[in-house]
Amino acid sequence: MKYGEVVFFESGEMGYVFSMSPDRCEILTFADSPIHSGCQVSRSGELLTIPVGEELLGRHVDVLFRSIDHEYFKTPVERRPVERLSPGIEKRVKINEPLETGVSVVDMLIPLGKGQRELVIGDRQTGKTEFLLQTMLTQVKKGAVCVYANIGKRKYDIKRVEDFVAHNNILEGVTIISSSSTDPLLAIFVTPYTAMTLAEYYLDRGKDVLLILDDLSTHAKFYREISLIGKRFPGRNSYPGDIFYSHSRLLERSGNFVTENGPRAITCLAAAETIENDISGYIQTNLMSITDGHIYFDHELFEQGRRPAVNYFLSVTRVGRQTQNKVGWGVNRELSSFLSLYEKTQRFIHFGAEINEGIRSTLSMGGKILNFFDQPMGNVIDMRIQTFLFCLIWTGAISDDSPSRLKYIRERGISLYKSDKNFSDEVNSLVETSSDFNVLLGKISSRTKEFMGALDR
């Protein structure tokens, strides 16, 4: 007998060999009810496999890829093992293509690359899932395939993801794999592994894949429960000693790979929950060390009304900036340095310092930028129109400080970009033909009246 082998009980239930010792063997089952003592069990000699195929696109399935949405679909013929070794370095290539999320504050300040593993971290109800859904919407519209894994979630939260996909008409590019908090422990434990297996199948078919794991802190809690029931010695915070290996062997399977169809990527966005803004927890720091950075959703910013509540000073992207062109890199540099100055200025005026013209100008520009970053749920913005609108703010073309005025200009610009081909072609040409950020600023500054006239209609 070996780890991961499938066994069958005479009652018809399927089990999974979870651990072995010289005198005992622990088996987890997919059964909703307990297995009775004395029930006979037989080995299969095979590891746990799942059916994978194009038929799963547009479907909502459980961890064994059985339909949850009650719609019939043909079961794929090909099967793949849930557990496999991650590809070696010889099969990987440098991450050099940007991944657009459609969320301005992330695309401009914490850029991501295709093949990156990024942790999305924050307290409950701070907007993590909204960000993941917005990123999924952006990527599916750009031709990627998305695998969304709900790991031990409430049925309400699972339904919310399903409704978002249906409402935005992106079902044909998405597979949702779900396990609820009431499912057997084994089903919850294998959810992220089955999702990764399906993502690898889509990768081998020549597609770029966005894999969303929501969330791994819940996965760790259920894994801890399995471990303690199995009477294994608890480690730090009662988590099993191999919790790091459990997550690292999963996340290492994503990346940017050499395939028969050229470089293709599995980009993994893994969510994790914090308690009272504590990002130094055991599971959280484990995941930070495995991934290529993290996006931190701050509860205090959320309470202040910031949407999305991303704390860009505490967020990190380790490989995303290498995918930016010179315009994107210039925007990132200018924004990062200015927002640092803005935060220092705000702390300075709290001491009752006199506000001179320079401080007033910094506060005005900072307020405009934060209002520009305020982005409602489901509203995704193409990177080129993001850059164009930011340049209008940066050049001082939008002189009115009122949030309503800036909101109108932004929404008008996005609407024109989507509906007016001449306008979108002009914006694309400006951004793509500029050699760096300063050149783009010069082009837009020379035509400020023309652009503002179009946006004010």
| Residues labelled as active-site residues | 318
Cβ atoms of 47 and 41 within 8 Å: the answer is no
First to last CA, the chain: 73
Structure tokens given for 137: 């919407």
Strands (E), 223-333: 255-259, 262-273, 293-297, 316-317
Is the dihedral angle over the CA atoms 411, 168, 179, 144 positive or is it negative? negative
**Amino acid at site 60:** H
Structure tokens given for 93: 């290539």
DSSP secondary structure code for residue 397 in this structure: -
195's CB contacts (< 8 A; 6+ apart) are: 147, 148, 149, 177, 211, 213
Q: How many CB atoms lie within 10 A of CB 159?
A: 14
Structure tokens given for 198: 């399906």
What kind and span of H or E run contains 438? helix 437-445
21's CB contacts (< 8 A; 6+ apart) are: none
Residue 119 β-bridge partners? 270, 294
Q: Measured between alpha carbons, how far is 69 from 72 in angstroms, rounded to an integer?
A: 9
Q: Measured between alpha carbons, how far is 132 from 267 in angstroms, rounded to an integer?
A: 12
DSSP string, 378-394: T----HHHHHHHHHHHH
Sheet holding 24-29, edge to edge: 24-29, 14-21, 5-9, 41-47
Angstrom CA distances, 259 to 112, 323, 337, stand at 21, 20, 39
Residue that has been written with the tokens 């509203």 in this structure? 379
Q: How far out from the chain centre does Cα 220 lie?
A: 18
